[in-house]
Structure 1
Amino acid sequence: MGTPFRCARIEAVIETIYGNLQGLKASQLRQLQRLYHQRLPGDRLTTSEVAQRVAAISTDIDQPICVYVNRRGQVIRVGVGTVRQTQIPPLELPRYGAERLSGIRCLATQFTEEPPGEAVLTAMALQRLDALVTLVLSGQGFERRGGGASGYVTATYLAHLQPESGEPGAERSPGTWLVSPLRSLEDVCQEDFLDWVEGLETAFRREFVARQVDTDQDRVLLVGLKTDQMEMQRFQDGLAELERLVDTAGGEVLQTLRQRRPRPHPQTVVGTGKVEEIALAAQTVGANLVVFDRGLSPAQVRNLEMQLGVRVIDRTELILDIFAQRAQSGAGKLQVELAQLEYRLPRLTGRGQAMSRLGGGIGTRGPGETKLESDRRAIQRRIAHLQQEVNHLQAHRARMRQQRQHQQVPSVALVGYTNAGKSTLLNVLTQAEVYTADQLFATLDPTTRRFIVTDPMTRKPLTVLLTDTVGFIHELPAALVDAFRATLEEVSEADALLHVVDLSHPAWLSQIRSVMQILSEMPITPGPALIVFNKIDQVDGDNLSLAQEEYPQGVFISASDRLGLETLRQRLIQLVQYVTQDN
């Protein structure tokens, strides 16, 4: 993490030295390796003897060094460089939660009397170290603190993570870390480490319990990247929609982080500094999932999870998870499983240990989850089988449509952006009882109902089949388009469309464009569409006037309040008569 650092590793018979070893003599390397044989008392941060020996070696090689010690007092890592340059990768750290520390402390040397900088403290926070003891080494102009014994160490700084409640009297970054004033080495050596760290973890535990409302919920960080080609409004709308998607999937959004770059970073999407910021934010707020507002390649997911230490998913995987929750019918579950497997197949080698999860939260649910434990060939065989099943489903629905066509019953499909109110409109027009909710993708399985209206000219009843379909979304994932082709054919094969628009949504114009783009990319061009603006009871006069000006042929209704339905019926009759006469 951070700026790429030129480093090497010397594999000794027993131990490894990390960091910048260039120019070091063999005798100096042996001194560094001997640090692994040091043992600290379990109840002390350090001892004067160990600290002075570390300082002597650092002075001899004229470079800072870091020594990482576990709570048993064993040295587990020795590195040449700063804390940031020698830090332990997240996946190599012990497992710990937001209420615990990692059980590792660091003794680090430096040649200036300045307190540890933000880069060093960030590295401490990313590793969730028990403590960082900075040994200030003697040099010209330094004043020894506390009149302690002679040696290489003139003074120390003690830094540690800090609960948001905080403690007065020290320089700190709110809710992140606390740095003590300069202290003598003897003072730090006398600190009762075990009692001190247990009290710190107790404070973290109280804070964690206080904010952990629902332990079953994923605690989510959202990450948005705005490139030069993206409009700011579209970027903001996309993040707002991503938050709704997380809420629909059952997660809790804790924080949203944004970055502006000319183009995505090929390895981590966002820049190196932003990756560190995300990792620190995840540690600070206790997030266990990071969701990006765009698609991620398998390599990007792998790189991000290694550096962040938490699960990472993209927008597509989030949508697939929602579909996995919503699928009720056998056909719906079949298509969701196919979409999940086709999406995850190239990611089998990219997720590493994450693939062993079984139903552990957002992005891990669905009928295809257990198959991810199998090898690539087994999953490919499963995909081939599912594709055959979808083809059979496609053929079955084609036969059903042919029967309706023989009966000369016109069909109209309700299409539109997700949560536009299609299911509510179907229920109002046909007295159906389709599930409705103020959620994205509340409807997944298509539902067809008969709708009978009276032709005002002939006074004869006219029967129309209305089909409620799955809602569209901006940049509908390709895996869903392919897997749901049997369902989407209900749209392309319909005689006409009712394009339902949520006029109360701030991005209604953008949603119209997204739906029209998806319709234009279908293999078979759908029939003519009547645009229906819904939820006018929640719209101000300016938005209503704009819609009427932009779409003078549109129909304006409120399905929930039954406003404008008679006008819609008459326009629907005209639309059906037009398509049936044309045929």
Structure 2
Amino acid sequence: METIYGNVQGLKSSQIKKLQQLYEQRQPSYSPTTPEFAQALAAISTEIHQPVCSYINRRGQVIRVAVGTPSQTQIPREQLPRHSAERLSGIHCVATQLKSVPPDEAALIAMARQRLDALVVLTVADGKDGRRGKEATVDVKEAFLAHIVPDPQKPWVISPPLSLDDLTEQDFDDLVDEWEREISESGDGMPFQNIVSDQDKVLLVGLKTDDISQQRFEDGLQELTRLVETAGGTVADTVQQKRSSPHPQTVVGQGKIEEIALQAQKLGANLIVFDRDISPSQARNLENEIGIRVVDRTEVILDIFAQRAQSQAGKLQVELAQLEYMLPRLRGQGREMSRLGGGIGTRGPGETKLETERRAIQRRIAQLQQEVNQLQAHRARIRQQRQQQEIPAVALVGYTNAGKSTLLNVLTHAEVYTADQLFATLDPTTRKLVITEPETQERRTILLTDTVGFIHELPPPLVDAFRATLEEVTEADVLLHVVDLSHPAWESHIASVEEVLAEMPTLSGPTLIAFNKVDQVDSENLALAGQKYPEAVFISATQRLGLETLRQRLLQVSLPPAEARRLSPLSHVQSENFQ
């Protein structure tokens, strides 16, 4: 059974069969196509009211049939024949379109990227008279023949409109040889080949809606760029749109989708990343329109977590989050699986496989939930032992990349991994911090726990999966909220962390804010932070500034009230100047 690629959702089994029959029609090497094949392609395209593309090699074999435009139905790079930069791929595309216009830029860029021998576009003329039961007659109104040329400014040539007879009489073998010779003799190689990379080349899409401020929107796009880079991708460009609310089917409007598709083709992007959560149906609709994989911000964060998880507990929680995210996004209609319909003859083995996979994932999620529950119980026993020893526990919380792990290392000589990356550490690490009281010289012990960093709109699957880790926050006696004061959006970061904390079970202890990286902050921001948060501590973990003040404040807020009052006059320690 030959595979039909592209957007086959909603097609009848009889229509799928007609598309599959196109594979059986052998084409002559001396002509781009035959009148019979062109008519068959036009007829099925008219019947399904969608463009259809067929890809044919130089032996005349139809190697790929797909529903969609040439830009939406490209052959994956790894499946294209490997040739030198001066050779074409040995494959040409014969496509239909319903409008009488030359091939658009997206189709031509797709041709250049795949190094196709040529792109043939057939304009379909529907001769149906409109009466029910009447057999429709479909003709090819005109055709266009496009091919690559070694000109960086205009890397393709499009023929004037041709009749079907003129097209089929072209000496295709000689034409392809001549085109390859021109490319080889120019010395410039194939156009659009200088950006091929093993790394994901990403096009970001940002949607500014009425409920988001301009500053928040810009900060979100900058953060998404950091997330993509942390995940190992390269951001090629960003496309933005303003709408009152997201489009229910495609998030952005139709015109913007066409702009995204064209820009992705120009840049050679192989991944589209949206700056917000998108539903499974929206992702499918966008992929069908654009022809490139589409993911949202949550999927990028999950990918980072999968890379960062080191401990068994961390890997367990990441797998649970990924499966919970993946379950509603399993795809069955189209893409190598037959369609599950509502009657006899429409149920296929592919869909049975999909249901089997769904049940397997559900069983795995249930198993992981049990293991997370056991992990919660294990950590609860450890916390109970600490509480019996009456050692105060302080949880480090804060926006990702605020410097929590660096601070833990400096205060306790721990060896937690640190890097200037988002979510550099996932697993909670607990270390002892011994503090000496300035008056009595008595040594007090506090437990410091480094936790996973927060982020604006922390994805729900992560909150659920990492509940065992986040309980370290809810069970702590004190929260030390570390803030990167050097970040332009530090106030927004504080609000985001407080939003996440507000969704957790009741927090019993006080919260102490520590503004970090003050060595990189100007006096105006220092004064603003001090005015808004007069009880905060100002430190620089890397430069070891303000750490003694922090130790004494931690000791003060973690002791019982009677003892804490004895240590309250700490203003002489807190007045360090970082300006």
Amino acid at match of 1:463: T
Amino acid at match of 2:213: E
Contact 1:415 1:422 in 2 (8 A): yes
User: Aligned pair in 2 of structure 1 residues 107, 466: CA closer, same or farther (>3 Å)?
Assistant: closer
* Alignment partner of 1:432 is 2:414: yes
| Structure 2 residue matching 1:259: 3-state secondary structure | strand
| Structure 1 residue matching 2:391: 3-state secondary structure | coil
Contact 1:131 1:161 in 2 (8 A): yes
Tell me the distance in 2 between the aligned counterparts of 1:223 and 1:346: 23
Contact 1:220 1:288 in 2 (8 A): yes
Q: Any idea what the Cα deviations from partners look like across 1:145-188, whole Å, max 9, x if unmatched?
A: xxxxxxx99998654467xx7356xxx4xx7x554689996999
Q: Which of 161, 168, 189 lines up with 2:170 in the alignment? A: 189
Tell me the distance in 2 between the aligned counterparts of 1:376 and 1:37: 35
* Equivalence for 2:6: none
- Stretch deviating more after TM superposition (262-271 or 505-514): 262-271
* Equivalence for 1:70: 56
* Equivalence for 1:332: 314
User: Following superposition of structure 1 onto structure 2, how do residues 90-129 of structure 1 map, counting pairs within 5 Å?
Assistant: 90=72, 94-96=75-77, 103-106=91-94, 116=102, 120-125=104-109
User: Following superposition of structure 1 onto structure 2, how do residues 354-503 of structure 1 map, counting pairs within 5 Å?
Assistant: 375-503=357-485
User: Aligned pair in 2 of structure 1 residues 253, 89: CA closer, same or farther (>3 Å)?
Assistant: closer
* Equivalence for 1:144: none
The CA deviation at 1:233 is 1.4
Tell me the distance in 2 between the aligned counterparts of 1:296 and 1:233: 22
Tell me the distance in 2 between the aligned counterparts of 1:530 and 1:111: 65
Tell me the distance in 1 between the aligned counterparts of 2:190 and 2:71: 28
Contact 1:323 1:441 in 2 (8 A): yes
Contact 1:42 1:194 in 2 (8 A): no
Amino acid at match of 1:70: I
Unaligned 5+ residue runs, structure 2? 1-9, 44-50, 125-138, 338-352, 566-579
- Stretch deviating more after TM superposition (120-129 or 201-210): 201-210
Q: Which of 537, 540, 549 lines up with 1:555 in the alignment? A: 537
Amino acid at match of 2:195: R
Q: Any idea what the Cα deviations from partners look like across 1:17-57, whole Å, max 9, x if unmatched?
A: 9xxxxxxxxxxxxxxx9x9999865245579x999999xx9
* Equivalence for 1:42: 29
Q: Which of 227, 234, 237 lines up with 1:255 in the alignment? A: 237
Contact 1:501 1:531 in 2 (8 A): yes
Tell me the distance in 2 between the aligned counterparts of 1:135 and 1:346: 38
* Equivalence for 1:341: 323
- State TM-score, norm by structure 1: 0.73
Tell me the distance in 2 between the aligned counterparts of 1:294 and 1:533: 29
Q: Which of 259, 274, 286 lines up with 1:304 in the alignment? A: 286
| Structure 2 residue matching 1:344: 3-state secondary structure | helix
User: Aligned pair in 2 of structure 1 residues 12, 274: CA closer, same or farther (>3 Å)?
Assistant: closer
User: Following superposition of structure 1 onto structure 2, how do residues 48-67 of structure 1 map, counting pairs within 5 Å?
Assistant: none
- Stretch deviating more after TM superposition (432-441 or 258-267): 258-267
Amino acid at match of 1:434: V
* Alignment partner of 1:280 is 2:262: yes
| Structure 2 residue matching 1:323: 3-state secondary structure | helix
* Equivalence for 2:344: none
* Alignment partner of 1:211 is 2:195: yes
Amino acid at match of 2:102: P
Contact 1:411 1:495 in 2 (8 A): yes
* Equivalence for 2:246: 264
- State TM-score, norm by structure 2: 0.74
- Stretch deviating more after TM superposition (331-340 or 345-354): 345-354
The CA deviation at 1:125 is 4.1
User: Following superposition of structure 1 onto structure 2, how do residues 79-228 of structure 1 map, counting pairs within 5 Å?
Assistant: 87=69, 90=72, 94-96=75-77, 103-106=91-94, 116=102, 120-125=104-109, 130-132=117-119, 158-160=145-147, 166-167=151-152, 172=154, 178-179=157-158, 189=170, 192-196=174-178, 198=180, 210-212=194-196, 215=198, 217-228=199-210
Number of residue pairs the alignment of both structures matches: 506
Tell me the distance in 1 between the aligned counterparts of 2:23 and 2:360: 46
Amino acid at match of 2:29: G
CA RMSD of aligned residues (A): 4.6
| Structure 1 residue matching 2:300: 3-state secondary structure | helix
Amino acid at match of 1:495: D
| Structure 1 residue matching 2:559: 3-state secondary structure | helix
Unaligned 5+ residue runs, structure 1? 1-6, 18-32, 58-64, 78-84, 138-151, 356-370
Tell me the distance in 1 between the aligned counterparts of 2:418 and 2:15: 65
Identity of aligned residues (%): 57
Q: Which of 527, 530, 536 lines up with 1:545 in the alignment? A: 527
Amino acid at match of 1:504: S
The CA deviation at 1:225 is 1.4
Q: Any idea what the Cα deviations from partners look like across 1:404-451, whole Å, max 9, x if unmatched?
A: 111111111110000000000011111111110011111100011111
Contact 1:38 1:50 in 2 (8 A): no
User: Aligned pair in 2 of structure 1 residues 400, 278: CA closer, same or farther (>3 Å)?
Assistant: same
| Structure 2 residue matching 1:532: 3-state secondary structure | strand
Contact 2:93 2:119 in 1 (8 A): yes
